[in-house]
Structure 1
Amino acid sequence: MSRSQVVAEHLPLLRRYARALTGNQASGDAYVGAMLEALLQDQSLLDQTHGPRAGLFRLFTQIWNSVSVNNDNADVATLSLPPERRLSNITPLPRQAFLLLSLEGFSEEEVGYILGIDIAETRKLTDAAGREMAAEIATDVLIIEDETFIAMDLESLVKNLGHNVIGVARTHSDAVALAKNKKPGLILADIQLADGSSGLDAVNELLRTFEVPVVFITAYPERFLTGERPEPAFLISKPFQPAMVSAVASQALFFQRNSRNRTPRAASA
């Protein structure tokens, strides 16, 4: 397999990870684009000691963490990032470690390799992320999922995380009706519903009337990671692990909270 084929194979999930870090598609893709430009200029940057996927995530992380928190000019210009992307919002190392473990399924050894740290430090970072996420403000959650057992799993999971479930919607119309009764603080949504309606369409309709972070859950994430159209910022693959839902939901709430702290009327990522 050629180097370009290796990159293409792993690019969709790298874009998902970048989006989870930045909170939106445009910023995540800008960082991935910067990584690809660097790789085109020097192919030796891709270290495959732990395999090509880990190597790509390592190179991406080196670029991501090279942007100085105290420098708003040169580094951003070099990466050609959107001007609205403020460096103060760069996801800190604990969340990077937790997302690599929980969302992307890397081992502790691979996470240490990607972040350039040892396993002991990896464990310290993930513990710190767990404490940080436990401190997130509990919120009301709307679940849009037509599969009964998955809906039950999600409901139990978010309750164990300290959130309140305002309802489980199995169709587009159910979701809109539930949200009208009580606006959720977080939405977990399947994309393709059994009755032929779309969780994506339901969410887009709700977002026209109020702001809320959304995590989409789908059995076919690669279909929504092509870069050909607007895509979900937070995306989880089925089947999912509880830690994966916890990590991504917390990250979505993290960006929503920071957005509100900066400007009370700012749009969510």
Structure 2
Amino acid sequence: MPTAQKEQFLSTIVADLLPYLRRYARALSGSQSTGDKYAAATLEALLIDRSVFETGLSHKAALFKAFHAIWSTSGALTEGSDVGISARALRHLSKLAANTREVLLLRTIEEFSDEEIAAITDMEVSEVKELYKIALRDMEDSVSGRVLVIEDEAIIALDLQSIVADMGHRITGVAPTHKAAIDLFNREKPDLILSDIQLADGSSGIDAVNEILKTAKDTPVIFITAFPERLLTGERPEPAFVITKPYTEEQVRSAVSQAMFFSSTETLRA
């Protein structure tokens, strides 16, 4: 393939994968602005050297490997101007064992295999497996709290309730519409929101969440959707956690544990 065509081909691939890299960088850093800086730095590095795409990895794994080359050598977690949840996330991250959060996110949210994670992070597969166990323990030993579910599909809503309740959290209610979500939120303030983006009456979970966040801007939100690209646009507000349907129980448990962990306050109890 001629060089010009090859570069255009890689540019198209990177553009398609960029929303997922931004999702990962945001969740990893605890900050949209910080995550985007690392994603941008990765793209700048690829403009200079695209040899990572010649390592035999999948295109997504190669892109994430390029990201980690920057993430692991630049001091990573640095306090910036972020406030609220973002600032608390950075403080909590600094207390976690090295590489546990990376491994957890790469496996549960981005769905890489242990072998791919080892290649991305330059670790042994055995080390990846051990760090994953540690990550799960650290996250699931976090605080418990109240969870509002915004979901119009009854079977999915029941499944989410079961997963969250089994983790020790309490469901404040299930809202199938925008109006129901606002009513439930006003009745009892949750510590976490799990939300779909398309609701039963044609209303929007995004609009419902945005309305809620006007008065409770520090409430963490996890979106569960078949259309993640609609949320990962680079426009604010943008969620730290976006889980793609069909989801796995492991993905939900991971995201809920992390969201509870990073937004924990003295008012919550394990």
Interval of TM-score (by shorter of Structure 1 and Structure 2): 0.7 to 0.9
Secondary structure class of the residue paired with 1:235: strand
Question: Quick one: structure 1 residues 255 and 134, their matched pair in 2 at CA, closer, same or farther if it must change by over 3 Å?
Answer: closer
Give the alignment's TM-score, normalised by structure 2. Answer: 0.85
Q: Tell me, yes or no, if structure 1 residue 120 matches structure 2 residue 126.
A: yes
Percent identity of paired positions between Structure 1 and Structure 2: 47
The structural deviation recorded for 1:45 is 4.3
Larger displacement relative to structure 2 (183-192 or 20-29): 20-29
Runs of 4+ displaced beyond 6 Å: none
From 204, 213, 232, the equivalent of 1:225 is 232
Equivalent residue, structure 2, for 1:29: 36
The structural deviation recorded for 1:62 is 1.8
Paired residues in the alignment total: 251
Question: Quick one: structure 1 residues 256 and 197, their matched pair in 2 at CA, closer, same or farther if it must change by over 3 Å?
Answer: same
Partner AA of 1:237 in structure 2? T
Equivalent residue, structure 1, for 2:64: 57
Equivalences for 1:239-254 in 2 at 5 Å? 239-254=246-261
Q: Tell me, yes or no, if structure 1 residue 147 matches structure 2 residue 153.
A: yes
Equivalent residue, structure 2, for 1:190: 196
Partner AA of 1:223 in structure 2? R
Contact 1:186 1:253 in 2 (8 A): yes
From 18, 21, 29, the equivalent of 2:25 is 18
Partner AA of 2:174 in structure 1? V
Question: Quick one: structure 1 residues 69 and 23, their matched pair in 2 at CA, closer, same or farther if it must change by over 3 Å?
Answer: closer
Equivalent residue, structure 1, for 2:16: 9
Structure 2: gaps of 5 or more residues:
1-5
Q: Take 2:165 and 2:199, find their aligned partners in 1: how far apart are those partners? A: 23
The Cα offsets for residues 55-91 of structure 1, whole Å up to 9 and x where unpaired, read as: 1111111211212269x6xxx9xxxxx5548775467
Larger displacement relative to structure 2 (201-210 or 129-138): 201-210
The Cα offsets for residues 206-245 of structure 1, whole Å up to 9 and x where unpaired, read as: 1222231110111111122232554222111111001111
Contact 1:20 1:251 in 2 (8 A): no
From 189, 207, 223, the equivalent of 1:216 is 223
Q: What is the root-mean-square deviation in Å for CA atoms of aligned residues? A: 2.3
Contact 1:25 1:230 in 2 (8 A): no
Larger displacement relative to structure 2 (131-140 or 200-209): 200-209
Equivalent residue, structure 2, for 1:163: 169
Question: Quick one: structure 1 residues 228 and 147, their matched pair in 2 at CA, closer, same or farther if it must change by over 3 Å?
Answer: same
Equivalences for 1:98-137 in 2 at 5 Å? 98-137=104-143
Structure 1: gaps of 5 or more residues:
77-81, 265-269
